[in-house]
Structure 1
């Protein structure tokens, strides 16, 4: 086959274009810090990168969910802690009222404080996060108490009052964030009514019997109510610990996925710079050889 001057020229230009393309690609990798700048550069790397980004987006959503779970659990824990402090004050007042040295006016003062403590406990039962009542099960739009009495719109046995509100915190992992409180606060409210009535009409001996119930921890006593409250708070604490562990797991998962994504698509600068220098040398050599093998034209001789 006869090799013509045009064939040599075309072949040299084609090789130079290929060399320029390689140089341009290497320079893009250094400028962008990425192995590819478009999916067509390497479809496998592109598909893996999409998968890693999807996983990171999902992890970010789980972390936002964990933030919401912490809000629910922390608010519930604070509310139950406040209720426990009030019950401690109730116990102090009952102990004080059982003393026969109290006159009628003293017990009236204690009764008024008991009434205020009862209303405060009802306010705690109506604790909200945003516009959601946290102790109403899944009926978060309904408070447990309205104007000092149980909400008439909440019917005992209604579906949802004792239901759990669960939040996704990881793949196939859900955590219950609410504490249904209707029965517990209803029990507290009824017991407060008993105390107030006893302070109004009861004798020192009857108040002493109430104190005996508290000390003995019999059914429907303040000790039992306080125990139920502490049990609920312990359950909340256990869930808080689990959420914290899940948060740590998500942090590690995010670090691992980010590392894998970086290994998949980030430029290895040392290797890329070395390859760029090598390619530049090859390109310069190609230019030099091309200038020598291309013969001069007739016009060059005429000059």
Structure 2
């Protein structure tokens, strides 16, 4: 049985080939125009899945980066406040030692006591420092201040203020950016019965034993502040390292995504030239193969 090839079948085959060639040409032009090799999932289903995975990874890294930045800012604000309090406690110690020498007049002793009480007020102000409207040393308390501004009593809590900084499970992926205010200041700031007010009263009364006890309390306060500050410094160091790592991971993800979905302009330009020439040649050949019909002659 012989196979008869009609003019219509040749025409259809030729037109199908032209459409295929034109589609390739248009796709390459679109890639050059948009700068993207993937403009729709059908362009490369496997590549589209990879691109979606990289975009999800970048979104997650961006959130971790924001958490790291927030944590660093909060911890650095805490460190600044602790540095101020450390300087103040050193000044209190200096005044207490001067009072203990016993060479000052009663007026001078009262001046020492007044300055220590003023320093206590300054320490209380630093202990109630805030970041983004939240007390730095109050844990997760909803109150505006970690310490009661009137009495100096601690009114926060010691619950951790957690930030998710990696995708690791549990504590490995989180960090506490809160600072334990009670561990740093204890009861030193309590008005009247706190260590600093007791020291001021002892200086006014010329009570050497009370001044010595107050000095020991100030030394402990300094040590506590420095210990808490050291913990803050350790956390800052961890976040700085993670910030750099997060940036490198984000760069790597962006490069990988670019390789998957971005247009290789040199290759696309060469393809466009080849495809354009091929399409023009196909058009020329088709014009010779597709013969005019009777209707063409009638028109």
Q: Which residue of structure 2 aligns with residue 163 of structure 1? A: 159
1:223 aligns with 2:225: no
Deviation at 1:35, TM superposition (A): 1.1
1:191 aligns with 2:179: no
Q: Which residue of structure 2 aligns with residue 37 of structure 1? A: 39
Q: Which residue of structure 2 aligns with residue 217 of structure 1? A: none
> Counterparts of 1:283 and 1:289 in 2: how far apart (Å)?
10
> Any residues of structure 2 matched to 1:286-297 within 5 Å, and which?
286-297=282-293
Listed as ranges, the gaps of 5+ residues in structure 1 are: 155-159, 215-219
Deviation at 1:146, TM superposition (A): 2.6
SS of match in other structure, 1:188: coil
> Counterparts of 2:77 and 2:142 in 1: how far apart (Å)?
14
1:270 aligns with 2:270: no
Q: Which residue of structure 2 aligns with residue 112 of structure 1? A: 114
> Any residues of structure 2 matched to 1:176-255 within 5 Å, and which?
176-189=176-189, 190-203=194-207, 205-206=208-209, 209-210=212-213, 214=215, 220-255=216-251
Q: Which residue of structure 2 aligns with residue 54 of structure 1? A: 56
Could you report, residue by residue, the CA deviation over 1:104-153 in whole angstroms, capped at 9, with x for unpaired residues? 1111111111111111111112111122112112224252333431458x
SS of match in other structure, 1:280: helix
- RMSD of Structure 2 on Structure 1 (CA): 2.2
> Counterparts of 1:300 and 1:100 in 2: how far apart (Å)?
124
**2:184–2:228: 8 Å Cα contact kept in structure 1?**
no
1:124 aligns with 2:135: no
TM-score (norm 1): 0.88
Deviation at 1:96, TM superposition (A): 1.5
Deviation at 1:293, TM superposition (A): 2.3
> Counterparts of 2:42 and 2:295 in 1: how far apart (Å)?
44
> Counterparts of 1:130 and 1:231 in 2: how far apart (Å)?
25
SS of match in other structure, 2:104: coil
> Counterparts of 1:285 and 1:223 in 2: how far apart (Å)?
92
Which has the higher mean CA deviation after the structures are superposed, 81-90 or 12-21?
A: 12-21
**1:76–1:134: 8 Å Cα contact kept in structure 2?**
yes
Runs in 1 of length 4+ with deviation above 4 angstroms? 296-303
- Which of 123, 142, 145 is residue 143 of structure 1 equivalent to? 145
Aligned residues: 289
> Counterparts of 1:171 and 1:50 in 2: how far apart (Å)?
18
> Counterparts of 1:209 and 1:181 in 2: how far apart (Å)?
25
Deviation at 1:301, TM superposition (A): 7.7
**1:119–1:148: 8 Å Cα contact kept in structure 2?**
no
> Counterparts of 2:141 and 2:81 in 1: how far apart (Å)?
18
